[in-house]
Structure 1
């Protein structure tokens, strides 16, 4: 098998969660995941894929970008178990954005934990803290040591 075909097959297996799910189970994320980067290194023994240089991961409703993303996957199934993003992390969903220096996605809990000066922005409202956890399925967040700036809307 050529190296290019092997890498393409591996990426398809890694980035297509849910192909083998039961029909009645809810998907964890909407749509397929597309990852682009300047460099990809795969370690089959450690079951990891390292994306570097301007990494962007997109689903149909969410985008995450970072300088580097390390993806951990299960042997055999190739299911993603964890993603560690580092360096200028940005996540966008609808009108909201979260920025930080580091973020870790946990597939089991369907959550993303942001550290390193995390900041959430929704319009003109801003929340900062020492640690932010975004629960994807529930579309809710928790923030430790929070500081909130809310812009009052003017009555019309």
Structure 2
């Protein structure tokens, strides 16, 4: 099944990785905190959602996309095996394109790409009310070119870009390519 939702859908905010997995170098402990510059909500571009199946449960205020879910907005792509969109009771529905989205959960091999950045995880939650993104898994991997960050949980405040990568009992792994540093004159 193919469903296209127009620009007024507040679910357009779902794709938030406009730039920057720019976690600072030098920290390889149990967690890494930094700013992820350029992470912003994007309400101004249309969003396209494709999946093998779509079920809309208006009484539960849910839209469930299953099978090869692909969401594209601008230069950002999200892929997962399943996506559940929870919307508020304030009126509207996903089918009519005017729903207020509370939260979006994604499952089964989550892949998120925006411009030069990529992230993979087992699950993810986009909380639109709190403007937070959380990716979880045995191995959450963030990359930009040759720079790679590995942990088990990534938390991002979408309104500020503040981010934290946790290792969940292990250690955060960071691999940085010295050629990726900005040149100064």
TM-score, normalised with respect to structure 2 = 0.66
1:135 CA drift (Å):
3.3
1:7-22 equivalence runs, <5 A: 12=5, 16-17=9-10
Q: SS at 2:10's partner residue?
A: coil
Does the 8 Å contact 2:61/2:88 carry over to 1? yes
Query: Residues of 2 paired with 1:104 and 1:14: CA distance?
Result: 21
User: For this pair of structures, how many residues does the alignment match?
Assistant: 139
**Change beyond 3 A, Cα 1:102–1:109:** same
Contact 1:68/1:86 (8 A) holds in 2: yes
Residues 123-142 of structure 1: CA deviation (Å, up to 9, x unaligned): 01110112102333434532
Return the structure number with greater relative CO, CA threshold 8 A, min gap 6. Answer: 2
Give the Cα separation in 1 of the matches to 2:126 and 2:7.
15
Please tell me whether residue 66 in structure 1 is matched to residue 88 in structure 2: no
Displacement of 1:111 after TM fit? Answer: 2.3
Distance of 2:61 and 2:83 partners within structure 1: 14
Secondary structure at the counterpart of residue 153 of structure 1 = helix
Cα 1:114–1:65 shift into 2, 3 Å: same
TM-score under structure 1 length normalisation? 0.78
Q: Is the Cα–Cα contact under 8 Å of residues 15 and 34 in structure 1 kept in the other structure?
A: no
Determine the structure 2 residue equivalent to 1:99: 120
The reply on whether 1:144 has 2:137 as its aligned counterpart is: no
Shift of 1:72: 0.2
Look up the match of 1:133.
155
Match of 2:48 among 30, 34, 57: 34
C-alpha separation in 2, matches of 1:81 and 1:15: 15
RMSD (Å) for aligned C-alpha atoms: 2.8
CA displacement 1:26-70 (0-9 Å, x = unmatched):
x93241221111100111111000001110112224221100000
Following TM superposition, by how much is the alpha carbon of 1:150 offset from its aligned partner in structure 2, in angstroms?
0.9
Structure 1 86/57 Cα, relative in aligned 2: closer, same or farther at 3 Å?
same
Unpaired runs of 5+ residues, structure 1, are 1-7, 19-26
